[in-house]
Amino acid sequence: MDTSESIHVAIVGSGPSGFYAAEALLRSELPVRVDMFERLPTPYGLVRSGVAPDHQKLKQPIQVFERIARTPEFGFLGNVTIGIDVTIEELKAAYHAIIFACGAQKDRRMDIPGEDLDGSHTATEFVGWYNGHPDYRDRVFDLQQEVVAIIGQGNVAVDVCRILTRPVDELKTSDIAEHALDALSQSRVREVHIIGRRGPAQAKFTSKELRELTGLTGTVATVDPEQLRLTSACETELASNTNVIAQKNMELFRAIAANAPQSGLRRIHFRFLASPFAVQGRDRVEKLSLVRNRLTGEPFRQSAMATNCFEELTCGLVFRSIGYKGVPIPGLPFDPMRGVLPNAAGRIVDGESVLPGLYVTGWLKRGPSGIIGTNRADSLETVESLLTDLAKHPPRYAPGLKGVAPIIERRCARVVGLADWFDIDAAEVERGTSRGKPREKFTRIEEMLSLVS
């Protein structure tokens, strides 16, 4: 349906939060028409380009997203960047409301000398590269290096570590990009250090992901038992029945501490209470300078304080995985500290003022936390705010897509519609079948567009 009575909502971004927002809107009593704009020709955000290739089951939400996309009142416009191809003002003029669901596209920086040396990378680059994201297709990682340091102790750090250490034969049947599989099959990486500024009780890994690192074929995980000594505040934290994940992690770390580093095996080494203060090297990464930390403060509010003990870790590659930030969208307010669009229950605010008709959801709303499912509740809240506002202020006429179609036609080379995406999808699956993979992704935008032209 696309009548003059329709409520036209634009959603910017096609990751989980965008799709859950679309689902909530399309389930409402109102005659809503949703147009989803995505800068890539492919939908699903980090479910396609973030979730690890050897975790195919975690990509199952795609089936739900696909069902939502097939709703008649839903439109997909891929290969359109909002803020560049179409301005916010132009979109505002055409739609009753806009929901921004653009995620957190940038890594936080360490802001230390040498961070930009060759061989020092962000986790986003590496993850995007092995997952076939077109932005990272041509990145080069020197996998001839034997020792790697990963800064950060969350699940993305675990993903990076696992992809670096898992036998390549076990990745062959995943949807890992072919160029990454080729490079990993030549890899000489032998030792991966996962470094966290706080202690084992504060590591952000979930236990399932941590456990997986302890059972990789041909790899042994190690930790210095001394590093597992806990302060009384840590003991208090671990005793809390709200801290089950940390308790399980601690059990795992104690088991890991009993492992002997065996020769011939790849090693994963957990290092706690250490912060990098310089990446060193003449032309490329040669070592990481670390300062040892101690924890101070009340249980659950402990912070890492630098001591005057220093150490150096010789390594040839550094990946930082210390959090993500959204990027500013031209024409919208932005909170640079948190990397989010300032909002109240999903309504975008500028100082004290609510900006009518503008909403935000997902990582761009709350920051990079939670799992895929967390975005559902988040998007429900945003849509509830939107529907409440519509009920209070009955909408004027808005043309919806008709209003921006001429602009898009003028400025965008080729819009990828839903049927186009399904063609790309089918071609990827077909390419994968002959290689025993669920799909072989197209990793260049031109390849995707040539398929649908």
Chain residues that interact with ligand FAD, rule: CB under 6 A: 12-18, 37-40, 45-47, 50-51, 55, 58, 81-83, 101-103, 105, 127, 156, 159, 329, 362-364, 370-372, 375
Instruction: Please report how close the Cβ of residue 17 comes to ligand FAD at its closest, in angstroms.
Output: 3
Is 41 or 199 the residue whose CB approaches ligand FAD more closely?
41
Between the CA of residue 364 and those of 241, 306, 367, 374, what are the distances in Å? Answer: 31, 31, 6, 13
Choose between 105 and 187: whose C-beta lies nearer to ligand FAD.
Answer: 105
How many whole angstroms separate alpha carbon 78 and alpha carbon 359? 20
Q: How far is the CB of 36 from ligand FAD (least distance, A)?
A: 9
CB of 244 vs ligand FAD, minimal distance in Å: 18
d(CA 347, CA 350): 10
For the CB of residue 436, give the shortest distance to ligand FAD in the complex, in Å: 22
Supply the minimum distance, in Å, between the C-beta of residue 22 and ligand FAD. Answer: 11
**87 vs 236 by CB, closer to ligand FAD:** 87
CB of 135 to ligand FAD, least distance (A): 9
Of 105 and 302, nearer to ligand FAD (C-beta) is 105
| Neighbouring residues of 2: CB distance < 8 A, sequence distance ≥ 6 | 33, 400, 401
Closer residue to ligand FAD (CB): 17 or 120: 17
Q: CB nearest ligand FAD: which residue? A: 15
Nearer to ligand FAD, 249 or 302 (CB): 249
Which CB atom, from 160 or from 223, has the smaller least distance to ligand FAD?
Answer: 160
Closest to ligand FAD by CB, 47 vs 256, is 47
d(CA 164, CA 26): 42
Instruction: Give least dist CB 43 to ligand FAD, A.
Output: 7
For residue 436, what are the CA distances in angstroms to 162, 176, 177, 444? 21, 12, 13, 21
Minimum CB–partner distance for residue 169 and ligand FAD (Å): 22
Q: Which is nearer to ligand FAD, 287 or 366 (CB)?
A: 366
- Beta carbon nearer to ligand FAD, 162 or 287: 162
Minimum CB distance to ligand FAD, residue 37 (Å): 5
For the bound state, the minimum distance from the C-beta of residue 437 to ligand FAD, rounded and expressed in Å, comes to 18
